[in-house]
Every structure is written in C-alpha cells, then in structure tokens.
Amino acid sequence: MPSLLTRLQQAGRTLRLDRPGHCPFWGAMLGVLLPVVTITVVLPVLGLLREPPPAATRVQAPDDAPGATVPARTLDSLRTLEAFLAARLALADQNQIGLSLDLVERTLQIEIAGVPVRVCSLRDVRLGRALAVRGFPEAGGPRLFTLEHAVATLPHTPIRVVRAPRDTTEYRSRPPLDVPVETTEPHFALYFDGGLVLHVSPSPSHSPWTRLRFSLMERLATTSRDVRRLLHGSLPRAARRIEVKLSPEDAKAVYRALPPGGRLALRMPPDV
C-alpha cells in the first residue's frame, strides 16, 4: 500500500503541461486527489471483488424436519392396500378363478391366475355393524377368504339337455329351438370363512316377490348354520355382512364364475 501511494504522489508532482503559461496548481491538486480516490473508491471495489461468495444456506423442507410423522389415516390406507395386493398375489399363485373386492375403488373383479377377466362396478355398498370394528381383515399376512356355501335365486350352472339329430334330414324336420331368456333376478349370498358374507343384489330390481323369496331363503340358511354350530358346541358368530349392488349381467357372471371353495381378496376402506 505505501509504495502505491508514493508512486501516485510522485506522478502528481511531475505532471506538467507542455503549453506555455501553464500554472503548476492543477498538477498539485491532481497529486492530492489521486491518493484520496484510490483509498476511498478503488481499493474497496477491489476488496469486494476478491471476497469469496457467501456460503449457500440450505432451507430444510417440511418433510425433512426432525420429528415429522405421516398421518395415521395415510398409514392405515397404505397398510390396507399392501395387504390387499399381497392377497391378490396369493390368489394369482393358486391358478384358479377368484374374486377381488375393492371397496375403496368400488369394483368387484373376476380374476383367473391374477388376470382380471371382468371388472364390475359397484353401484351401491353397505357394511354391516360387525364390520365397524377396525382391523378387519386381521393382520398377519395376506388374507384370502374361502367360500363355504352360497344361497341364490338362480342355478349356479344353467343346464339344458338336447338330443342331437342323427342327420341333416332329422335336423331340418325339427322345429327351431326356443331358448328362453333368463328373467330371474340374481339375488345371492356368498358365505366365506371368518364370518364374511357377501350379499349381492341387482340394480335395478323389479321383482318384490324375488326379493322376499331370497330373504326367506337366506334367513333359513343362517338359522340352519347357527343350529349346526350349537350342536357342535360352538356359539353362533355375528356375520360380517357386505351388501353390494351390481348390474344384473354382472351379478350373474360373478355368481356363476366363482367355483365351490373359491377365494376372495378383500380391501376395506381405511376409515371403517
């Protein structure tokens, strides 16, 4: 710093004008002003340019905040979805027809070896009082429900036996086959292990007599099951009832697709 100021002062003293009649006053003023400008302007600017940039300050996101927790509702929903997907995977490993009931997405799927072959939209869902207890299905691995028996207003497999004609002449002599259209409303109840009952009815429904007949059939089946449990020394258990409504075509397809002993994967809403 002293050497720089000395050189500036010497430069100011030696300044002179080549024109005749020049006054040495301006040279003396310039020699005084140059050191002042250098100290007050030039050196601070050079110091700012040489200073390292300030370190970047990291703003911590809310998710990274210490002690941040995931809401319990979200955790319950994720656990329910994980158990449901694991149950569907176990159902796919059995390489047979099964049902996948998702009460969150409101769908009922017919699956074969894990491949959905028919997706049915639930038009209405009602849960029984016994399902108001949290934690159903129970934890502890993928839960598949096995069909024990069913009650329905329509046969499981429609059968019609027709003797085949011996030749073309006999075929032509026969009247045309009159295949009646099935008009019975598909009301049925599927009884699974664990006390789970899936009640399916069509929407819309136009036959009060069919609904009454099915209600009596279901009541008789429930009473008979409870009596058998009492005879074997067990108390009747409350049915965990799920009532859904499907289109008539979907209801018939679901009932006739599920074989005896078929399996069901269930996803319950997290707020039940």
Q: How confident is the model over 113-161, as pLDDT tens digits?
A: 889 999 999 999 998 876 655 545 554 456 899 999 999 998 887 656 6
- Residue 15's pLDDT is 47
Strands (E), the chain: 97-102, 107-112, 115-121, 124-127, 144-152, 188-192, 196-202, 240-246, 263-267
- Residue 174's pLDDT is 82
Any bridge partners for residue 150, and if so which? 190
Q: Which of 46-60, 138-152, 155-169 has the lowest mean pLDDT?
A: 46-60
DSSP state of 182: P
Q: Alpha helices, DSSP H only, in 17-148?
A: 25-37, 43-50, 72-93
Of 95 and 202, the one with more pLDDT? 202
